Chains A and B, each alone.
Chain A
Amino acid sequence: MLGKLGPHGHRFLGLWLRRGAVCTFFSPRGPGVCDEPPVPAEGRPQEMASKSLPSLLTFLCGSVVGFFLCYQILHILLEKPAETQPHIIHNDPHARHAEDSAHGHLEGQMDFGADISQHRDEDKHVAEELYHRVRVLCWVMTGPQNLEKKARHVKATWGRRCNRLLFMSSEENKDFPTVGLDAREGRDQLYWKTIRAFQYVYEHHPDEADWFMKADDDTYVVLDNLRWLLARHDPAKPIYFGRRFKPYVKQGYMSGGAGYVLSREALRRFVEAFRTNRCSHSSSVEDLALGKCMEAIGVEAGDSRDPSGKETFHPFVPEHHLIKGYLPKTFWYWNYNYYPPVEGPGCCSDLAVSFHYVDSTTMYQLEYLVHHLRPYGYSYRYQPALPEAPAKQASEADRKEGPQEKSGNR
């Protein structure tokens, strides 16, 4: 029946239905009574006029509700929370660089040094003298998939301050450049890569440096502070420094991620140990295996704390160490640290050497905070003493705090 109505018929029907609904509810003579006959299409405006008030009301009602809802939604969407850092806690002391999160990869580079006028009245002669006196070769553990994501930012920031910088990868890359080691990528290959890297360094750059620093591509190293630490030690002595851990090895071993640095003699002995099979090649735990080997070949695990007793090599970013309670008390870290671990301001030396698990933004942020941003005219509380030549024995001269330190604290 409906089909026979045709297009006009449908329109009438629609009108009638609507009209019917309205007059059912709003007829002055009560529901159910409908005294106006259905009108043809031309009568529409008249019809609309009679229904205008209620429909206008619902329309206005709708617009207010719509506006309010939309405002709320937009308000929630656009509210910018204060920036929070991702909360990374690495559950396994020997696990490193698990799956990369896809976010946060910085493209390009930032050069804070491009603007030299800010440093016009900077006196660098002590740092420059140390640069020549305490030569450091840095080699950075990386891989083909991390060159653009991570290694590049190392090159753009702290890497420049090494006397020699090398990137070690499973593949050679002439453009970056990286050294190709006879090894594959993967966590279980770390120790083998480390051995091969040190062998490469010993073979190709033995006389270029006094100290040989190993770091990851997410480690940030302050070379000036490393040199200050090493200046009072003799590179002809078999010793190595890093963040000292106590389990498994009697003299302790150095955390891989926080970076560690070998003296020239330590490097020689280490490479020799593999030639003579004194140390084993196979292990899936790089830093522990290296630590065991070091102990076996008589390389001393040094104390890298500053004269006031604060740690300089750090297995995490500053936030994780500075904030009390950030690392839960059940965390492995508290049992691993060789020296009594500290959280809060006492965690970290003013002259910190390294931080680990540093993402690309934090790499540049640390670069800015360490080498650029400073409080004008501020007289620092901790005034480190000039390092003495290594010929002197380690004595109370090393342990004594700087003469200018302000009294009244610690």
Chain B
Amino acid sequence: MLFESSSFLKGMMLGSIFCALVTMLGHIRIGHENITHHEHHHLQALSKEDFLKISEAERVELVKSIRVYCMILVKPKDVGRWAAVKDTWTKHCDKVEFFCTESIKVFESINLETNDMWTLMRKAYKYAYDKYKDEYNWFFLARPTTFAVIENLKFFLLKRDATQPFYIGHTVKSGELEYVDVEGGIVLSIESLKRLNGLLSDPEKCPEQGGMIWKVSEDKQLAVCLKYSGVFAENAEDSEGKDVFNTKSVGFLIKEAMSNNPQQVVEGCCSDMAVTFNDLAPNQMHVMMYGVYRLRAYGHTFNDALVFLPPNGSDND
């Protein structure tokens, strides 16, 4: 008896050690990813001077020409965040649709009947392409924990040709693969979506089940698929090199920057033209809405080349 329990215990110990090792290795790899962060493709916002040179009529046309379709992937447990997202920043998308793993009575959403996030993503992209390929030229996918400033997204995308394969966001390098982190939001041009759609039916290049032992996250799988069709991830930055797509909240980024440099004065954590922040609770979505679209300092105006009007029937922006 003693012998059996001791071998059982030995087995347990070995199993736990193995598991801990594998998890740690996974985390270390992520740590390395952060270090090599700068080694990938960068995409900078165009300078504001570029826009000032064009005529008034051209500017209006430019605003109209960029149409963003927002896609939010949700699970039933995300109902609270869903409500907040629906009531806040998504009102500034040209169109927003929510894709859910199952049918939920409380909210209007497209039920894609799957519990797997990668399958959900594939189906959502396929649906978006089939239905809207002629209506929108940019496709923005986000989590319900993300807050996005669509006007800054549009500003970033202006003068970029949507018939080119763009795949933009907050990029991360994992080994040889560079992918856009879904936590910061994923932007695809219509051309990228078209190419993706072409590959979705190819089980070799774009399999439905990516990983063998460990589940590969859906954003990595997307990157693999896109890579096959010649679409590569690009990290979006402002003119100072600051990320505009953020995978964390403002508060987190502030704390992180300051705790990394205690007793020092650090420069501001975040871009003035930031597009996304993530890891926000529903209440914080409302605070961001007020903070971005309403709260401001009197007496400061900007010579913006373009005008975006507030949406109809909204009272919190």
Contacts and interface: CB of A to CB of B under 8 A. Distances in A.
A373 B259 contact: no
A369 B292 contact: yes
A52 to B, nearest CB: 10
Given A21-B1, A114-B267, A318-B287, A378 B308 contact: yes
Contact of A82 (B150, B279, B315): B279
Given A124-B299, A227-B298, A376-B152, A66 B255 contact: no
Contact of B308 (A70, A364, A371, A376): A376
Contacts of B252: 83
A108 B296 CA distance: 26
Nearest to B304: A377
A107 interface: yes
A350 interface: yes
A409 B294 CA distance: 15
Interface residues of B, number: 89
B254 A58 contact: no
Interface residues of A, number: 94
Interface string B282-296: 011011101111111
Contacts of A408: 312
B80 to A, nearest CB: 10
Contacts of A406: 309-310
A59 B15 CA distance: 10
A373 B244 CA distance: 11
Contacts, number: 291
A57 B231 CA distance: 49
B46 to A, nearest CB: 12
A1 interface: no
A109 interface: yes
A375 B19 CA distance: 46
A62 interface: yes
A161 B4 CA distance: 74
Interface stretch (A115-123, A163-171, A175-183, A284-292): A115-123
Interface stretch (A195-203, A241-249, A319-327): A319-327
Interface in B257-312: 257-259, 261-274, 279-281, 283-284, 286-288, 290-310, 312
B309 A127 contact: no
A54 B92 CA distance: 65
Nearest to A72: B19
Interface in B210-233: none
Interface in A71-87: 71, 74, 78, 80, 82-85
Given A318-B287, A319-B287, A323-B283, A375 B300 contact: no
Chain B CB count within 10 A is highest, among A121, A361, A378, for A378
A22 B258 CA distance: 62
B203 interface: no
Contacts of A368: 250, 254, 268-270
A353 to B, nearest CB: 10
B295 A318 contact: yes
B272 A67 contact: no
A33 interface: no
B272 A119 contact: yes
B299 A224 contact: yes
Contacts of B284: 83, 85, 319
A66 B12 CA distance: 4
A377 B308 contact: yes
Interface in A350-386: 350-352, 361-362, 364-366, 368-382, 384
B293 A115 contact: no
A68 B15 contact: yes
B274 A361 contact: no
Nearest to B9: A62
Contact of A21 (B3, B20, B154, B295): B3
Nearest to A75: B23
Contacts of B2: 18, 21
A370 B296 contact: yes
A77 to B, nearest CB: 10
Contact of A62 (B11, B286, B288, B296): B11
B255 A318 contact: no
B15 A63 contact: yes
A106 interface: yes
Contacts of A82: 81, 145, 279-281
B293 A377 contact: no
Nearest to A346: B315
A260 to B, nearest CB: 19
B291 A373 contact: yes
A128 B258 CA distance: 30
A394 interface: no
A132 to B, nearest CB: 12
Contacts of B48: 120-121
Contact of A58 (B4, B15, B294): B4
A376 B150 CA distance: 9
A370 B252 CA distance: 18
Contacts of B240: 115, 117-118
A135 to B, nearest CB: 15
27 contacts: A22-B3, A58-B7, A65-B12, A66-B11, A69-B15, A74-B19, A83-B280, A109-B258, A110-B266, A111-B266, A118-B238, A118-B271, A124-B300, A127-B298, A127-B299, A323-B286, A345-B315, A352-B295, A361-B255, A365-B250, A366-B291, A372-B270, A376-B151, A376-B304, A378-B151, A380-B293, A406-B309
Given A66-B11, A117-B239, 9 more contacts: A22-B3, A70-B19, A82-B279, A108-B263, A110-B257, A122-B301, A124-B299, A323-B286, A378-B310
Top 5 nearest A-B pairs (CB, nearest first) are: A62-B11, A66-B15, A127-B299, A66-B12, A369-B291
Interface of B: 1-5, 7-16, 18-20, 23, 48, 63, 81, 92, 145, 149-152, 154-155, 238-240, 249-252, 254-255, 257-259, 261-274, 279-281, 283-284, 286-288, 290-310, 312, 315-317
Interface of A: 18, 21-22, 51, 54-56, 58-71, 74, 78, 80, 82-85, 106-115, 117-130, 156, 222, 224-225, 227-228, 318-319, 322-323, 326, 344-346, 348, 350-352, 361-362, 364-366, 368-382, 384, 406, 408-409
